[in-house]
Amino acid sequence: MTTDTLRPLVDTLKALAHPVRLRILALLRNGELCVCEVAGVLGLAPSTVSEHLTDLRRTGLVREWKVGRWVHVALSDEATTRPVLESLWPLMTAAETELGRDLAQARALRCETCDPSGCSTLTAANT
């Protein structure tokens, strides 16, 4: 076995080795979100969230698509990533309280239109 054959696994494990990316995956476990919603829950700039999402997308763990000007993200439904994600959830039970707060906040900040002038998520994240 060469290191080339291990590269996809190494990249996936590196992507999982960051608390923000783990929080993003936990948020997406309950369905798709707009990047502005993820940024609002995490209290990070959308550009920072986008960088983390890029790492997750490169490994195939998340997928994204545009709705108008807005980017939506969800967990990947690829067969190769499903075992990784399913093995991750039991390992995250120690952080269940914090992750539950993230999820509750995501529901409360639900951005129906993804319109920055009416998006409470972006307004709250930029204050």
Count: domains in the chain? 1
Instruction: Read off the pLDDT of residues 2-18 as tens digits, 9 standing for 90 and up.
Output: 678 899 889 999 999 99
**Predicted pLDDT at 111:** 64
For residue 120, tell me if it sits in a domain. no
Domain of 72: which CATH number?
A: 1.10.10.10
Give the pLDDT band of residue 127 (cuts 50, 70, 90): very low
Contact 120, 111 (CB under 8 A): yes
| Structure tokens that stand for 11 in this block | 């990249």
Structural domain boundaries, residue 91: 3-109
For residue 29, tell me if it sits in a domain. yes
For residue 121, tell me if it sits in a domain. no
Q: Are strands 70-75 and 62-67 parallel, antiparallel or unpaired?
A: antiparallel
Instruction: Read off the pLDDT of residues 16-35 as tens digits, 9 standing for 90 and up.
Output: 999 999 999 999 999 999 99
